[in-house]
Amino acid sequence: MAVTFPPDPSTEARGALPGLPDPVPVAVHLRAPHRSGIEERFAATDQPAGHDLARHPRVARLLRSRKFQFLLILPNQVIFWLVIFLGLLGTVVPGLNFGNAITWYIWFCLVFVMIAVVGRAWCSMCPFGGFGEWVQRRALWQRTQRALGLGKKLPEPVARYGLLASVGSFIVLTWIEEFFDIAGPGKPMATSFMVLGIVSTALVFFLVFERRTFCRYVCPLSALIGSLGAMGSAAGFRTRDRQVCLSCETKDCMRGGEEGYGCPWYTWPGSADSNLTCGLCSECYKACPSDNVGLFVQRPLTSVVAPSRRRADVAWSVALLWGLVVFQQVNATSPYATLDGWLTRMTGIAYPNPIDYLGIIIAVAAIFAGVAWGMSRLLGKDLARWHQPSALSSSFVDRQSRFRSFFVPLAYGVVPVVAADYLARQLPKFFKHASRIVPSIGAWFGAGSTHSSLYDLRLLSNPSIVAVQVGVIAAGTLAALWTTWRISGREIAPVATRPLAARLASVAVVVVLGGVAGWLYVLMHAAS
Separation between Cα atoms, residue 403 and residue 30, nearest integer Å? 10
> For residue 18, what pLDDT band results from cuts at 50, 70 and 90?
very low
> Considering the chain, what percentage of its residues have pLDDT values greater than 70?
87
Residue type, 461: S
pLDDT band at 351 (very low <50, low <70, confident <90, very high): confident
Q: How far is CA 306 from its chain centroid? A: 17
CB 92 within 8 Å of CB 187 = yes
Q: Tens digits of per-residue pLDDT, 385-432?
A: 544 444 444 444 455 688 999 999 999 999 999 999 999 999 999 999
Highest mean pLDDT among 30-44, 62-76, 383-397: 62-76
pLDDT tens column, 86-121: 999 989 999 899 999 999 999 989 999 999 899 999
DSSP state of 269: T
488 and 370 share a domain?
A: yes
Whether residue 402 lies inside any domain: the answer is yes
Are 212 and 332 in a shared domain?
A: no
On whether residue 256 sits in a domain, the answer given is: no
Q: What is the pLDDT of residues 438-455, one digit of tens each?
A: 999 988 877 778 888 899
- 219 and 349 together in one domain: no
Domain final residue pick, 181, 203, 227: 227
CB-based contact 165:217 (threshold 8 Å): yes
Q: Are 354 and 493 within one domain? A: yes
Tell me the angle at which helices 312-330 and 354-379 cross, rounded to the nearest 10 degrees.
130
Q: What is the pLDDT of residue 383?
A: 64
Residue 304 lies in a domain: no
Q: Domain for residue 444, yes or no?
A: yes
Q: Which of 166, 192, 227 is the last residue of a domain?
A: 227
What CA–CA distances, in Å, run from 170 to 112, 225, 325, 514? 15, 11, 12, 23
Q: Answer yes or no: is 292 within a domain.
A: no
Smallest CA-to-CA distance from 436 within 457, 420, 451 is with: 457
How far apart (Å, rounded) are the C-alpha atoms in residues 289 and 287?
6
Same-domain status, 495 and 353 = yes
* 325 plus 418 within the same structural domain: yes
Q: Give yes or no: residues 326 and 198 share one domain.
A: no
Domain extent at residue 192: 65-227
- Tell me which of 19 and 438 has the higher pLDDT: 438
- Among residues 174, 197, 227, which one ends one of the domains? 227
Shared domain check, 324 and 222: no
Q: Determine the Cα–Cα distance for residues 489 and 504; give it in Å rounded to an integer.
A: 10
pLDDT of residue 4: 34
- Domain contains 241: no
Total domains in the chain come to 2
Q: Are residues 204 and 329 in the same domain?
A: no
Kindly state whether residue 434 falls inside one of the protein's structural domains. yes
Is residue 3 a part of any domain in this protein? no
pLDDT in tens, 227-236: 999 999 999 9
Do 384 and 520 reside in the same domain of the chain?
yes
> Alpha carbon 50 to chain centroid distance?
21
Whether 316 and 424 share a structural domain? yes
User: How far is it, in rounded angstroms, from Cα 278 to Cα 226?
Assistant: 9
Q: Looking at the chain, how many residues does it have?
A: 528
C-beta of residue 246 within 8 angstroms of C-beta of residue 39: no
Enclosing H/E stretch for 234: strand 234-239
Which tops the pLDDT comparison, 412 or 272?
A: 412
pTM: 0.87
